[in-house]
Amino acid sequence: AARVGEEGREAAEAALDEMDAVETVTAETTAEIETLAEEVEEIGEVVDTIAEIAEQTNMLALNASIEAARSDADGAGFAVVAEEVKNLAERTQESAGEIEERIGAVQARAEAGVDSIAETERRIETGVETVERSIDALERLAEASERTDTSMAEITEATESQARTVDTVVGHVEDVSAISTQTASAAADVTSAVDEQERTLAAVENAAESLSNRAGSLRDTVGRFEYDADAAETDTPSGTDSPSASVEGGSGTVATSDGGTDVAESAGPERSAFEFRDDGGVN
């Protein structure tokens, strides 16, 4: 648009130059026509003088004819000359009249030409004003187009900047997504570890409960063992070993009233009464 406006402005300026040239030529032509009109007017004055001379000559010829008529035969030749002079004066008057008519026509046409040229000059001036307004409008159009181009460049730059910002934001979002994925994976690992700890705690609780049960059973067994030992010492003389109970190395067999035997776990320092298995159970 700016280029078209500039081309239009240049074309309008060229047209303005041409119109200025036409106006100059028209002014020169008008001046020449006015000069011609003045010369024609001068010619008319000369023709008027000739017409007056012809009229006076005609009057003289008429007077000469009258005088020749008054004379006798001697005036006959003079009368012929007077008649010829009269005829010449009449033709001169007729020619002067025709010249005056033609000069009048030329003057009328010259005046019409001057009026036409004046109208042409007026229209040229109007055209010049129109072209000047067109040039101003084209210059404003070119300026507006330049401002529009500048605004479009700024908009393009802003759009590119926004695009770069969006790309940066997308990169940050992708980073956040990756971090979220890692966090979710870590959370899953933590959840798995918590589940494993819960299973371990459950196994420990089960082992503790089993240990508690075995400890109770052990207390009952030890209690019965002590009771049977006391009873055996009461029934057996001092210094005699009990035939039904003996303790060697911290372990022994206890006889019961029903003829069976209970086996007590080793309570010595060499071995614990129970031990934990690797799977969380108790032996």
pTM: 0.39
Q: pLDDT at position 272, please?
A: 43
Q: pLDDT at position 1, please?
A: 55
Q: pLDDT at position 254, please?
A: 41
Among the listed residues 92, 64, 91, 94, the one whose alpha carbon sits nearest the alpha carbon of residue 80 = 64
What string of pLDDT tens digits covers the 283 residues of the chain? 556 666 666 777 777 777 777 778 778 877 877 787 787 788 878 888 887 887 888 787 777 777 777 776 666 667 777 777 778 777 887 887 888 888 888 878 778 877 877 887 787 788 778 777 777 877 787 787 778 878 888 888 888 888 888 888 888 888 888 887 887 787 788 788 888 888 888 888 888 888 888 888 888 888 777 766 666 666 555 544 444 444 333 444 443 334 444 434 434 444 444 444 444 444 4
Q: 2-168 domain in CATH 1.10.287.950?
A: yes
Dihedral, CA of residue 243, residue 245, residue 251 and residue 256, to nearest 10? 140
Q: Domain coordinates of the chain in residue numbers? A: 2-168
Q: pLDDT at position 243, please?
A: 44
